[in-house]
Homo-oligomer: A and B are copies of this chain.
Amino acid sequence: VPRNRQEVDRNEKVDDILRVGAHILRSEGYAGLSVQSVAAELGVARGAIYWYFRSKDELFAASAGRAIADALRHPPHTRTASSRIEWAVERLADLQPIHTALQERARYSLAVAALLAEIQEGLLGQLRNALRPHVVAARLDPVASVIFIHVQGTLSMQMAPRDRRRHLRFLLDELLGAPP
């Protein structure tokens, strides 16, 4: 929680930077995200960005986190695990370029690696919770892992939305049993 006016101002500026960063990431991908492009969009000098972020990769990680959080806001109130999983995959699929860039930069930046690990743990946890009522306890871990890896695979490839849905549904039916 912010304690004073100064910290509020700072958070607002960080928020401005991340808004611009997330927008550039969505439209132009990692290659389009430069410290210069963000600074220019905000009308400040390149060096100003370094007052709020230690490096380009920290700026990238935070912007990517923001874009992903935006995409997963407002999940639907649906009952079956399959449909909730399918909803999340649809939303994440739009961010496929960001996802591949995260994987790539995680090799070189601890900040990016940490964000990616956090995102993956969060998603795997939610996936387990969604599956728990539908899978016997002994199968929960392997089933959740295999579905998670499948989603990871669909997000790392270019694929037609139709094929993505078909393959995901096939896997879910195989592992969870066909719906009644």
Contact = CB atoms under 8 A, between A and B. Distances in A.
Nearest to A154: B149
Given A97-B107, A107-B31, A174-B175, A152 B145 contact: no
A78 B71 CA distance: 45
Contacts of A82: none
Interface stretch (A7-15, A38-46, A98-106, A125-133): A98-106
A157 B149 contact: yes
A146 interface: yes
A90 to B, nearest CB: 16
Interface residues of A, number: 33
Contacts of A157: 103, 120, 149, 152
A52 interface: no
A174 B174 CA distance: 8
Interface in A147-180: 148-158, 163, 166-167, 170-171, 174-175
Contacts of A29: 107-108
A146 B146 CA distance: 10
Contacts of A171: 146
A103 B30 CA distance: 12
Contacts of A145: 163, 167, 170
Interface of A: 29-31, 97, 100-101, 103-104, 106-108, 120, 142, 145-146, 148-158, 163, 166-167, 170-171, 174-175
